[in-house]
A = this chain, B = another copy of it.
């Protein structure tokens, strides 16, 4: 697929800790290709992280620094790409409140992504209202930046649909378009598994962080799930479900060599240790410069805060314009600030 250009792109991450290779393969890497020719905003979605963990406290300030450090480490350039903090943009909350009037409860309950997450988190009847409202909050994020392109996994397509439904509903009320509709930029990459073959997640401790030290990488690769029936080097082995091959597919720059290794592994005669040795080299080479930039970034928390503050202010200017447009549809009065009160 050709790299898009001239689009307004919104994407981002929930700050629940350092990002890992799964994020890199699934989304971070592709943002580097996008940042040169598009206007991109990375939203650090701390409110969303709180909604996912309704009623619990998280170490949000530290997590935010970790995520911004990860962005810089992989090569995001804050002079091109805006990095903004969700909870510091009140306009997003205001847009969410307006949009909640445009969506029915029944529609939100039908949202497949919400349904799936409800199952996953075991909420059932005790869904926090904020969780049900999550697609509306995401529509606020997308529209606040007038995004035209939103990178998502295929499981997030219903969110794009909901945002566009709200944009159309608003256009219907206003009698003219108010917000641009957006398209999904589908990630072509399959989800990278955790070291143990399960879904990669910080809480399972089965992911390789972007700042992993050489011995952490080595240990993770050693521990990787391969094919439990591949007992001797000479045995034929399975490539599908083999975590080492999943990582080689994702990160080995020599695609042809990986193809040949797969063939040999299937035939028999290729040992796990040789494969893991190769993957260790690939990951060490990938992570080393990232780790270096990450250590530099995280050593300067004031600098990181300055980046996110600047990006947040730039974002607020855009979001304030969108909010003014939405308020105008509902004919809400503007109270000009009294200059004498704030002297």
Contacts and interface: CB of A to CB of B under 8 A. Distances in A.
Interface in A62-115: 64, 85, 87-88, 90-91, 93-94, 96-98, 100-106, 108
Contact of A97 (B102, B137, B310, B313): B137
Interface stretch (A23-31, A123-131, A244-252): A123-131
A136 interface: yes
Nearest to A308: B335
B93 A90 contact: yes
Interface in A320-337: 327, 329-333, 335-337
A168 to B, nearest CB: 12
A137 B223 CA distance: 50
B129 A169 contact: no
B90 A105 contact: no
Given A335-B88, A338-B310, A97 B103 contact: no
B57 A173 contact: yes
Contacts of A341: 310, 313
Nearest to A95: B93
Nearest to A57: B331
Tally of this chain's copies: 2
Contacts of A310: 338, 341
Contacts of A128: 100-105
A54 interface: yes
A132 B47 CA distance: 21
A104 B87 contact: no
B331 A313 contact: no
A312 interface: yes
A56 B61 CA distance: 40
A332 B108 contact: no
Contact of A85 (B137, B330, B335): B335
A32 interface: no
Contacts of A50: 98, 101, 330, 332
A302 to B, nearest CB: 11
The listed residue with most B CB atoms (<10 A of its CB), out of A94, A97, A137, A169, is A97
A266 interface: no
A234 to B, nearest CB: 56
B90 A94 contact: yes
A125 B107 CA distance: 9
Contact of A313 (B88, B106, B125, B337): B337
Interface of A: 46-47, 50-51, 54-61, 64, 85, 87-88, 90-91, 93-94, 96-98, 100-106, 108, 125-133, 136-137, 169, 173, 305-306, 308-310, 312-313, 327, 329-333, 335-338, 341
Which 8 residue pairs across A and B have the least CB separation, nearest first?
A: A100-B130, A101-B130, A61-B333, A93-B93, A54-B101, A90-B90, A100-B129, A93-B94
Given A50-B98, A87-B332, A313-B338, 8 more contacts: A47-B97, A51-B100, A60-B332, A61-B332, A105-B125, A105-B129, A106-B125, A108-B129
8 contacts: A55-B169, A58-B330, A93-B93, A93-B96, A108-B129, A129-B132, A133-B133, A310-B338
